[in-house]
Amino acid sequence: EPEVTQTPSHQVTQMGQEVILRCVPISNHLYFYWYRQILGQKVEFLVSFYNNEISEKSEIFDDQFSVERPDGSNFTLKIRSTKLEDSAMYFCASSEPPGLKTRDTQYFGPGTRLTVL
Amino acid sequence: GQSLEQPSEVTAVEGAIVQINCTYQTSGFYGLSWYQQHDGGAPTFLSYNGLDGLEETGRFSSFLSRSDSYGYLLLQELQMKDSASYFCAVEDAGNMLTFGGGTRLMVKP
């Protein structure tokens, strides 16, 4: 069964450094998402991406964050100048093209645990 | 914005039936989804309701009443492996999922 993959599984960085989290969505999916989950808290939406542009973003997704689809398979989240409060699990998700009932199903990757020291 | 309320914790015994309720207040609503998350794992899709009524998928069912801004997840024939956190999530027209705080289900022998 196809699945979303994410690398690395764990990233440790120093405060102020830049990190890039990588995701490979399911191949025929066209909607891509990033979520984060601070330890012990709920999953929070960061951004959605469709047709090579951001379609929606939350107030968490400020100028520190950016997303990119550098090629036909990867989807990345860049965090510039990381802060201590950026420490969280970051999940990538993808969903099918619009117009299909299963568009409503978002499939999550295993996550990248980001630790900012 | 969106806000969702669900119980923080539920305990049940193996073989029993448990219902996890979710109420929501939303400025835009497309559907209600349910996700399961084991400790340290990723959210896994369980069920989706776009219309009022009951959706059944094996041992899991989900219900939605749009007029009451209310839904629930029903888990039958509980197994130990069902011990996990369960999140309801509202989807808006832009595909954004807003998650509730999660319900930690503990299944006891």
- The Cα B25–Cα B109 span in angstroms is 36
For residues A102 and B106, which has the higher predicted lDDT (pLDDT)? B106
Point out the residue among B37, B41, B45 whose CB comes nearest to the CB of A105: B45
How are beta strands A31-37 and A88-95 bridged, if at all? antiparallel
Measure CB to CB from residue B94 to each of A48, A106, A108 and give the nearest one.
A48
With an 8 Å Cβ cutoff, the interface of chain B facing chain A consists of 30-31, 33, 35, 37, 41-45, 48, 50, 87, 89, 91, 94-102
Nearest to B87 among A43, A56, A110 (CB): A43
Over pLDDT 70: what percentage of chain B? 99
Q: CA B60 to CA B8: how far, in whole Å? A: 19
Q: pLDDT for B48-94, tens place per residue?
A: 998 999 999 899 999 999 999 999 999 999 999 999 999 999 988 77
Residue B102 has phi, psi (to 5 degrees) of 95, 145
Q: Is A10 on the interface with B (CB under 8 A)?
A: no
- Is there a cis peptide before residue B109, judged by omega within 30 degrees of 0? no
Percent of chain A at pLDDT above 90?
A: 74
Tokens encoding A22: 């990588």
Using the Cβ of A61 and the Cβ atoms of chain B, whether some distance falls under 8 Å is answered with no
A 94-113 → B contacts, CB under 8 A: 95, 103-111
Task: Give the position of tokens 């699990």.
Answer: A89
pLDDT score for A102:
53
Distance between CA atoms of B39 and B109, rounded to whole angstroms? 19
- In the block, residue with structure tokens 């193996």: B14
Is B29 in contact with B52 (CB distance < 8 Å)? no
> Cβ contact (<8 Å) for B97 and A35?
yes
Tell me how close the Cα of A12 comes to any Cα of chain B, in angstroms. 17
Q: Which residues pair with B5 in a beta bridge?
A: B23
Two tokens at A96? 């099918």
- Farthest CA pair distance, chain B: 42
Residue A101, classed as helix, strand or coil, is helix
Q: Does A43 touch chain B (CB under 8 A)?
A: yes
Each residue's pLDDT tens digit, A6-49: 999 999 999 999 999 999 999 888 899 999 999 989 999 999 99
Residue with tokens 């959210």: B43
**Confidence bin at A1 (pLDDT 50/70/90):** confident
Contact B12, B78 (CB under 8 A): yes
